[in-house]
Chains A and B, each alone.
Chain A
Amino acid sequence: MNGYNFAYLDEQTKRMIRRGLLKAVAIPGYQVPFGGREMPMPYGWGTGGMQLTASILGQHDVLKVIDQGADDTTNAVSIRAFFERVADVETTTRATDASVIQTRHRIPETPLVQGQIMVFQVPIPEPLRFIEPSETETRLMHALEEYGVMHVKLYEDIARHGHIATTYAYPVKVDGRYVTDPSPIPKFDNPKLHMCEALMLFGAGREKRLYAIPPYTRVESLDFEDHPFEVQRWEAPCALCGSQESFLDEVITDDAGGRMFVCSDTDYCRQHSEEVA
Chain B
Amino acid sequence: MYVAVKGGEQAIGNAHRWLADRRRGEREQAELSVPQVQGQLRLAVDRVMAEASLYDPELAALAFKQASGDLIEAVFLLRAYRTTLPRLAESVPLDTALMRIERRISAAYKDIPGGQVLGPTYDYTHRLLDFMQLADGEVPAPERAEAVRAACPQILELLDAEGLMEREQDDGSEPFDITRDPPDFPVDRATRLQMLARGDEGYLLALGYSTQRGYGRNHPFAGEIRQGYVDVEIVVDECDEPVCIGEIALSECQMINQFGGTREAAPQFTRGYGLAFGHNERKTMAMALMDRALRAEELGEPIIGPAQQAEFVLAHADSVEASGFVSHLKLPHYVDFQSELELLRRLRREHAATQPADNPMPASPEAQSS
Contact = CB atoms under 8 A, between A and B. Distances in A.
Interface of A: 4, 8, 10, 33-40, 42-45, 47, 67-70, 72-78, 81, 104-106, 123, 133-136, 161-163, 165, 167-169, 184-188, 206, 208-209, 232, 239, 247-251, 253, 260, 262, 264, 266, 269
Nearest to A170: B339
Contact of A74 (B11, B180, B335, B343): B11
A13 to B, nearest CB: 9
A184 B324 contact: no
B171 interface: no
Contact of A33 (B182, B327, B340): B182
A216 B117 CA distance: 70
A68 B320 contact: no
A232 B327 contact: no
Interface string B167-194: 0000000000000111011100000000
A165 B343 CA distance: 7
Contacts of B184: 33
A238 to B, nearest CB: 11
A180 B334 CA distance: 23
B83 interface: yes
B343 A81 contact: no
Contacts of B79: 38
A10 B4 contact: no
Given A45-B328, A135-B311, A163 B343 contact: yes
B80 A38 contact: yes
Contacts of A260: 2
Given A42-B323, A251-B2, A262-B2, A34 B336 contact: no
A168 B336 contact: yes
Given A104-B331, A167-B336, 11 more contacts: A38-B79, A42-B320, A75-B331, A78-B12, A136-B185, A184-B336, A186-B336, A188-B339, A239-B2, A249-B335, A262-B2
B370 interface: no
Nearest to B350: A162
Query: Chain B interface residue count: which class?
Result: 35 or more
A206 B321 CA distance: 6
B332 A161 contact: no
Interface in B69-107: 76, 79-80, 82-84, 86
A192 B311 CA distance: 35
A109 to B, nearest CB: 12
Contact of B6 (A45, A72, A253): A72
A10 B86 contact: yes
25 contacts: A42-B323, A42-B324, A43-B328, A44-B324, A44-B327, A44-B331, A45-B328, A68-B333, A68-B334, A72-B7, A73-B332, A74-B8, A134-B311, A162-B347, A163-B346, A165-B347, A167-B339, A184-B333, A184-B335, A185-B335, A186-B339, A248-B338, A250-B341, A264-B338, A269-B4
Nearest to A5: B84
B336 A37 contact: no
A76 B335 CA distance: 15
Given A105-B333, A105-B335, A43 B324 contact: yes
Contacts of A37: 83
Contacts of A123: 325, 328
B182 A34 contact: yes
B146 interface: no
Nearest to A134: B311
A253 B84 contact: no
B63 to A, nearest CB: 12
A80 B141 CA distance: 54
A78 B323 CA distance: 19
A45 B4 CA distance: 22
Given A10-B86, A42-B323, A77-B12, A35 B182 contact: yes
B338 A35 contact: no
Interface string B1-24: 010111111011000000000000
Question: Lowest 6 CB-CB distances: which A-B pairs, in order?
Answer: A43-B324, A44-B328, A42-B324, A167-B339, A208-B182, A44-B325
Interface centre among B82, B84, B180 (most CB of A within 10 A): B84
Nearest to A160: B347
Contact of B335 (A81, A251, A264): A264
A187 B326 CA distance: 24
A225 B177 CA distance: 48
Given A4-B84, A44-B324, A70 B182 contact: no
B366 interface: no
B134 to A, nearest CB: 37
B4 A72 contact: yes
A42 B311 contact: no
Contacts of B4: 70, 72, 262, 266, 269
Contacts of B324: 42-45, 47, 206
B130 interface: no
Residue from A161, A162, A168, A269 having most chain B Cβ neighbours under 10 A:
A168
A72 B335 contact: no
Given A72-B4, A73-B8, A39 B335 contact: no
Contact of A167 (B11, B311, B315, B340): B340
Contacts of A188: 339
Contact of A135 (B185, B323, B342, B350): B185
A232 B5 contact: no
Contacts of A162: 347, 350
B176 to A, nearest CB: 11
Given A10-B86, A162-B350, A249 B334 contact: yes
